[in-house]
Structure 1
């Protein structure tokens, strides 16, 4: 079994037939279900139909015969066959008997360049085999004449196996990635360079690149330009246009998560599972906070109790208010009013002078604030005076 040559699916020769096959050689212990493509004179095996890179290649140059295998398979609809090569034998399993007949017909026709007559096929299927034989003969003829380029790894990265119309659509859709690509020519023995530029509207141009019999290529214009390889063709166009033409290179997407297929031990069902690839970074510890030092205003609020509508600047000293003249009273900026419930402890004693200028001067009272803190003893004394006055008015004999 030959190793993978590094070519992708779009770089392989013309595909004559493809489908799923279970492959197992006599050296292998278990069979594998692979997507199989008959391209040219070789079988290319892929893990899945959508894969681009093949995993195995089987050259049919050592083909001997292909026969049915009548052994029983676990799948009753499946049909087995044996592919005999000069150096090894390969066991293949097709999905059904009809697919087995087609695989036998295509492999035999391409390897022997003739359609077998012993197969049970429909007229349309026989016609497909004849077309495959003619295409394979033409491919071998061009390859022997040096006109067929089969080693596509030598192709530039901007090579795309598309037609003229598909090239224009591709350049229109991927305009941000490039505006020039290399593609197969119309007659099959040449190549073409397609470009796209904007001038009021999209302008497409196509240049034929022909292979020379003595080796190398040339751009088929009025003054032909000779180049050693197709890479030189692209480099020449980029250089002569001062980088205006940019090769269109489309990178294949990569997987964003790691996944694998696991079989359930109980029921044997296959399921796709993803590995946990996210790593949570450690959290940064919070910065230490300096202890808060209480301000004098906060200490004042905690030590002294205020009634409603009291302000922080209305703080009573133990000294007599009459001893300080109103003109020397320090004016403090007004602060936010704080509503605190009345204290339960005994009230503080205050000295109060009824003849003080503070009570008599309205200007000074205005400056000291809208309300004054009145001691509880003064309130009690005032209440008693009001009660005596009320009784004297009711009973004049008590005076």
Structure 2
């Protein structure tokens, strides 16, 4: 025995307190399923409850339409007997099929009215159906009144205002700006991500609205890369990511972290490539000490006249030159040979000089001896001549 629909309706009300806006038969298929399955659907609030049939008092599954990203009509330019909607949710993609195109248009109107909180334009509905949508919209607004947003703070000083006011407000302290922040507009950011995908997939940029930021993403989808832009509002306590369900974070780096985690680390901040050097400059050769010509040293003058004495062989040789600290000497066989030749030449010159001095001194002594001998002989001859004369 089938249960009366009113009894079933009362039992369903005990499950949820959400108001019933629309109901009817439909077909549903998820992305992993091959065939459509028949259900009886009820749109209660922003949730679509699915039953096996209209006599079942407990739902089989439900779809949270508040997570709806987009709702598109499959082959909108073709007139078919059935209407298929593609619903893109955060978790999965779902297709809804309505055998009657008029019923499909009603489902579309109710879903979009509940989600967007406004009656969609260009709906092919009768005046009575539009009036029902207005009642649904009023009831939904009473049930979920829009929360007023806090006033926007002054625009940061490092972002130039598009129109400078006569009395500017005091600037706010500059937040910590991530490395992927670029002072570009939406078109330039998308062009940068498209031209250099290897640099990253997220660019933080100033928004066209004062005191706001924007995040441009290049996300790889099964159909290809897709560009997306999100607004980030600056508030006194942090930043608000303007999503269907707003998310508040404390810094711009947390904004990037939120998107990275939500996409399972498939997105990365855009970091432009830094230039690299392509040539190697030869460093100058280390400074060497010239051994053959040592640096002359300043000898202090003596306060008294030095005594003259003959030089020994050790004193004749030049003192060995020691390399100064923190300098390098490059050994070379040719330089050693030149050094030995220079030392031998110096020793030979000193020996010859000493030899000449000895020879000259001996000659002087012989000459002096001869002079003395000659004088003695003359004096002796004179004395002998004197004695002889006497």
Do they superpose with TM above 0.5?
A: no
- TM-score, structure 1 as length reference: 0.32
**Greater share of helix:** 2
- TM-score, structure 2 as length reference: 0.32
